[in-house]
Structure 1
Amino acid sequence: MDSKPCVLIVDDAPENLALLHGLLKDSYLVRAANSGEAALDVVSKMPIDIVLLDVIMPGMDGYEVCRRLKQNEETRSIPVIFLTAKDSTKDEQFGLDLGASDYIAKPISPPIVFARVKTHLQIKASQDFLKDQNTFLEAEVQRRIHQLSQVQDVTIAALASLAETRDQETGNHIRRTQWYVKLLAEKARYLPRFSERLTPDVISTYFKSAPLHDIGKVGIPDNILLKPGKLTADEFEIMKLHAYYGYQALVEAEADIGYEDSFLTAAKEIAHYHHEKWDGTGYPNGLCGEEIPLSARLMAIADVYDALISKRVYKDAMSHDQAMEIIHNGRGTHFDPDLLDIFFEIESEFQHIAEKYRDE
Structure 2
Amino acid sequence: MRVVIVDDSPSAIQALSSMLSSLTGCEVVGFHDSAVALHWCLDNAVDLVLVDYNMPAPNGLQFIQRLRAHRQRVDTLVVMVTACDQREIRHQALRLGATDFLSKPVDEAEFLARIRNLLKLHQSHLALSDRAQWLSQEVQKATSTLLEREREAILILSRAAEFRDPETAHHLVRMASYCRMIAIGCGLGQDEVDLIHTAAPMHDIGKIGIPDHILLKPGRLTPHEEELMRRHPTFGADILAGSSAPLIRMAASIARSHHERYDGSGYPDGLAGTAIPLAGRIAALADVFDALTSERPYKKAWPLEQARDYIVAERGRHFDPDCVDAFLARWPEVERTAARYRNDNEERDVPTIMLAETRTFLFGGATP
Q: Which band: TM-score by shorter chain?
A: 0.7 to 0.9
Q: Which residue of 2 aligns with 1:101?
A: 99
Q: How far is 1:176 from its partner?
A: 0.9
State yes or no: 1:20 paired with 2:51: no
Choose from 3, 9, 12 the match for 2:5.
9
Report the aligned-residue RMSD: 2.7
- What is the number of equivalent residue pairs in this alignment? 342
Moved more, 240-249 or 46-55: 46-55
Q: Which residue of 1 aligns with 2:260?
A: 276
| Counterparts of 2:305 and 2:97, CA distance in 1 | 70
Q: Which residue of 2 aligns with 1:194?
A: none
Q: How far is 1:183 from its partner?
A: 1.4
Secondary structure of 1:52 counterpart = strand
Q: Which residue of 2 aligns with 1:219?
A: 209
TM-score under structure 2 length normalisation: 0.82
Choose from 279, 287, 292 the match for 1:303.
287
Q: How far is 1:61 from its partner?
A: 2.1
Q: Which residue of 1 aligns with 2:356?
A: none
Distance 1:16 1:283, change over 3 A: closer
| Counterparts of 2:177 and 2:111, CA distance in 1 | 66
Q: How far is 1:246 from its partner?
A: 0.5
Residues 82 and 103 in structure 1, CA contact (< 8 A), matched pair in contact too? yes
- AA aligned to 1:272 is R
Q: How far is 1:95 from its partner?
A: 1.6
Secondary structure of 2:125 counterpart = helix
Q: How far is 1:290 from its partner?
A: 4.3
| Counterparts of 2:12 and 2:322, CA distance in 1 | 78
Distance 1:288 1:34, change over 3 A: closer
* Cα deviation 1:303-353 (Å, max 9, x = unaligned): 122112223344443333443455555455433455445545554432221
Distance 1:274 1:61, change over 3 A: closer
TM-score under structure 1 length normalisation: 0.83
Structure 2, unpaired ranges of 5+ = 347-368
- AA aligned to 1:229 is G
Moved more, 218-227 or 341-350: 341-350
Moved more, 95-104 or 342-351: 342-351
Q: Within 5 Å, which residues of 2 pair with 1:341-352?
A: 343-344=327-328, 346-352=330-336
Q: Within 5 Å, which residues of 2 pair with 1:215-254?
A: 215-251=205-241, 253-254=242-243
- AA aligned to 1:55 is Y
Q: How far is 1:103 from its partner?
A: 1.0
Q: Which residue of 2 aligns with 1:57?
A: 55
| Counterparts of 1:219 and 1:101, CA distance in 2 | 69
Distance 1:178 1:103, change over 3 A: same
Q: Within 5 Å, which residues of 2 pair with 1:73-112?
A: 73-112=71-110
Q: Which structure's relative contact order is higher, taking Cα pairs within 8 Å and 6+ residues apart?
A: 2
| Counterparts of 2:130 and 2:267, CA distance in 1 | 56
Distance 1:270 1:59, change over 3 A: closer
Distance 1:350 1:127, change over 3 A: same
State yes or no: 1:137 paired with 2:127: no
Q: How far is 1:215 from its partner?
A: 0.8
Q: Which residue of 2 aligns with 1:178?
A: 176
Residues 66 and 99 in structure 1, CA contact (< 8 A), matched pair in contact too? yes
Choose from 326, 337, 341 the match for 1:357.
341
Distance 1:339 1:108, change over 3 A: closer
- AA aligned to 1:141 is V
Percent same amino acid among aligned pairs?
Answer: 37
| Counterparts of 1:353 and 1:126, CA distance in 2 | 54
Residues 161 and 174 in structure 1, CA contact (< 8 A), matched pair in contact too? no
Residues 48 and 78 in structure 1, CA contact (< 8 A), matched pair in contact too? yes
